[in-house]
Every structure is written in structure tokens, then in C-alpha cells.
Amino acid sequence: MRDVTRQNIPDIILAALVAGGSVLLFIGAAELPAPRFEPLGSAALPRILGALLILFAVILVIRALLRMRAGTLRDETASQVDPRRGALVFVALVLYVAALDFGRVPFVPATTLFVTATGLAIGARSWVNLAVFAALGLVLSFAISTVLERFLYISIG
């Protein structure tokens, strides 16, 4: 097996797993009751999420296939994975869910802190990245909150 193929197989497997997960979302959304009062219904959010997951899986497969076709290897620094970063993201996710569920922390500050912590865990730790991820988290949390409250009629706190 060529090095290029071996290097891109994990991306294709990940895309297949993500697509499988989104199929489960679609199956679960099909079992939800039809909307009675709200325009989109309770199945809208799982369907939107499933569609986004499939979109990202397709992008991942296309990039892997293009790399395989061109015969180019990934950057050497990209293949050096640090498992501590993944553990930090997992810890941030657990703390985020616990803060929302048990601590009853409002959605916007909790999501802003989560995006900031995740961005700093994955990327370089600098003041510029701190400001960028904090701004991204704030904008993203307000956007999600607005869409959920105004279009889906879901109040998340």
C-alpha cells in the first residue's frame, strides 16, 4: 500500500463514521412527532445537524481523494498528533455539558468559554488566539441562541 493511501484512509473511515452517525440522526428525527404549533417542529434540529455532518464528511472524503489522486503526502507537522490536546477538548466538552445541565449556566457564556477553551486546546496558545476564539465563541453562541429562539422557538437559557 502506498504511503499516500495509508495516510488518507483514516480520513475516509472518519467520514464514513460521521455519515453513519448522521444517518442515525435522520432515523431518530423520522420517529419524532410532526409539528403541531411551531413551523419547523422538533425534528428540524437533528435534520439540520445531520445534513451539516454529511456535508463535512463529503468535504473530508473529497480532500482525501484529491490528495490520493495528486499523490501528495500531508505536511509532516500535521501528522504529529498530540493526544493531550484531544484529552483537553474532551475535558472541555464534559465541563461544558456539566455546566449547562447541572450548573444551569446560561448558554451564551458557557458556549463562549467552551469555544475559547477548545480553540486554545487545539491551536497555539497566544493572546491573539485567545481574542479570536473568544470573539468567535461569542458570535457563534449568540447566533445559535438567536436561531433556536426566533426560528425554532426553543429557549435554551
Q: Which residue has the cell 435522520?
A: 26
Is the whole-model pTM more than 0.85? no
Domain ranges of the chain: 1-78, 80-156
Q: How does pLDDT run along the chain (157 residues), one tens digit per residue?
A: 677 778 888 888 888 998 998 998 889 888 888 777 766 677 777 888 888 889 989 998 999 899 888 887 666 555 556 778 888 888 998 999 899 888 889 999 999 999 999 999 888 888 999 999 999 999 999 999 998 888 777 777 6
Radius of gyration of the chain (CA): 19
